[in-house]
Structure 1
Amino acid sequence: MTDIINPLATLIASFAGAWAAFKLQSVEKSREIDRSNIAAANRALLVMMQQANELKLYQKDHIDPQRHHPGRHIGIQATLPFDLDTLRFDFKSLDFLSSATEQQLLFELSVEERRYIEALKAINARSEMILTEVQPRLMAAGFNDSAEYTGAQFTSALGQPTYNKLQRLTDDVIYHVDRTNESICTMRDKFRAAALKRYPKEKFVNFEFVGESQPAP
């Protein structure tokens, strides 16, 4: 009997040890997946922060000082082109958000990314027009940066079609920047709430955008 029990005990002990090792490895792998998911969610929140701060700084420095001026389409200066490809979301890393509600949230996040890109494209298009069309014509007409001119004088120097196009582009820039600044803040709150619902005991990035009141904890 002893000859039977000893090998059986050894087999059971070996099996138990292997099972414990497997369970430990499984738990560690699950934790690693969770850490990766939490990091991905925080990266998405940081991208939102950078997108919003970029647009809010443009709004504060360029739009707001001229917002209510009748000649704002002339007064808002051109800027260096914004990079359209830098601040993008890594949607593949967010595929752990797999429920129907979370999938809808990811769709909304993709729409938010397009809004941000459209805002930058509008700014870039307007800046390019000022640098390549508006300023050369004003210089050719003898305009001086330190002097003041009437709308009629600008219209005469630029021509009515160019003047109207500059007005439309300026209105587009203000619309896209204002709208996206507001929608990014809303998306930040929705995305962070979804991440906390998935991982209620974890910490996720919370931040205050430029010019915004302190967000909820």
Structure 2
Amino acid sequence: MTLIALGAAYLQLIDVKDLVVAVLPVLTTFLGATLAFRLNEDREEKKEQLRRKQALDYSLFILLRQDNAVRQSLEPYRTAANDAARAFMVPAFKPPDYLSLKQDIASLSFLLELGYPQLLFELSIEQERFEQVFEALRIRNQFYVGELQPALERTGMNGSKVTLAEAKTILGARIYDSAMNQAQDLFDHFQASEKSIPEMFASIRSTAKALFPSAAFVSYEYNAPPKEPGS
């Protein structure tokens, strides 16, 4: 209809006033639809940006809680005097359900399209490392309660002073080696996570600030753990 009206005006079949009356509703409808589309598009973009910021916030929060879980749960192993003390003197204990502290990798998938695939991969590795820490703790606790502690009581070693060679003879090679290896394996996992979680936190926060320069993100001052006794 608009084209017909314009053509008619050109041929002086209708005057300009009639042309305006004919075209104005069409232009108004078009402009209104365009404006509504742009406003809706802007709202969706703002919602997506907020979702991305919240996903980064949540990731940082999970890393803080994981860092605290590692330090709190494994402090006795770190402060034990030596390998033997870790293996035979640190009792089993049941920590809270720290395995529920999981990174929501799917919510951070936007990092792939923004050019941060390596960061997302490293975060997934960090999550697996954290889970390995507490799986190692679970295995060590199960062994301590089910085999080591009964063997210590049965052989009368509880409270006794014996050399490592004597302990291996008394307990038997399997129980002795298992106790030493599991405690060392747990301690290795602990040290790895204690170092890598703060590094991962710094990487995620640096990326968050690069993507949202004016936004506030949680931060904390990392204090390096004291040196291992005897080091």
* Same fold per superposition (TM over 0.5): yes
The answer to whether 1:89 aligns with 2:108 is no
The Cα shift of 1:97 comes to 0.5
Counterpart residue number, 2:80: 66
The Cα shift of 1:85 comes to 4.0
SS at match of 2:100: coil
- For residue 29 of structure 1, the aligned residue among 22, 44, 48 is 44
The one-character-per-residue Cα deviations of 1:75-131 (angstroms, maximum 9, x if unpaired) are: 111121664741111111111112575101111111111111111111111111100
Q: What is the rounded CA distance, in whole Å, between the counterparts of 1:161 and 1:110 in structure 2? A: 35
1:63–1:76 CA contact under 8 A, matched in 2:
yes
Counterpart residue number, 2:175: 162
Higher-Rg member (1/2): 2
1:84–1:121 CA contact under 8 A, matched in 2:
no
Counterpart residue number, 2:129: 115
- For residue 13 of structure 1, the aligned residue among 21, 28, 33 is 28
Q: What is the rounded CA distance, in whole Å, between the counterparts of 1:151 and 1:124 in structure 2? A: 27
The Cα shift of 1:202 comes to 1.6
The answer to whether 1:149 aligns with 2:164 is no
Residues 208 and 168 of structure 1: CA distance in aligned 2, closer, same or farther (over 3 Å): same
Q: What is the rounded CA distance, in whole Å, between the counterparts of 1:46 and 1:57 in structure 2? A: 17
Question: For structure 1, which runs of at least 5 residues remain unmatched after alignment?
Answer: none
Q: What is the rounded CA distance, in whole Å, between the counterparts of 1:156 and 1:123 in structure 2? A: 26
- For residue 64 of structure 2, the aligned residue among 45, 49, 66 is 49
The answer to whether 1:197 aligns with 2:220 is no
Q: What is the rounded CA distance, in whole Å, between the counterparts of 1:67 and 1:40 in structure 2? A: 41
Question: For structure 2, which runs of at least 5 residues remain unmatched after alignment?
Answer: 1-14, 226-231
Further displaced range: 25-34 or 193-202: 193-202
- For residue 112 of structure 2, the aligned residue among 84, 88, 98 is 98
Counterpart residue number, 2:5: none
SS at match of 2:176: helix
Further displaced range: 1-10 or 187-196: 1-10
The Cα shift of 1:212 comes to 5.2
RMSD: 2.2
The Cα shift of 1:176 comes to 0.6
2:70–2:190 CA contact under 8 A, matched in 1:
yes
Q: What is the rounded CA distance, in whole Å, between the counterparts of 1:167 and 1:69 in structure 2? A: 7
Paired residues, number? 209
Counterpart residue number, 1:172: 185
The one-character-per-residue Cα deviations of 1:42-86 (angstroms, maximum 9, x if unpaired) are: 1111111111110011233x1233144743311111121664741
Q: What is the rounded CA distance, in whole Å, between the counterparts of 1:84 and 1:205 in structure 2? A: 21
Q: What is the rounded CA distance, in whole Å, between the counterparts of 2:22 and 2:112 in structure 1? A: 48
Identity within the alignment, %: 25
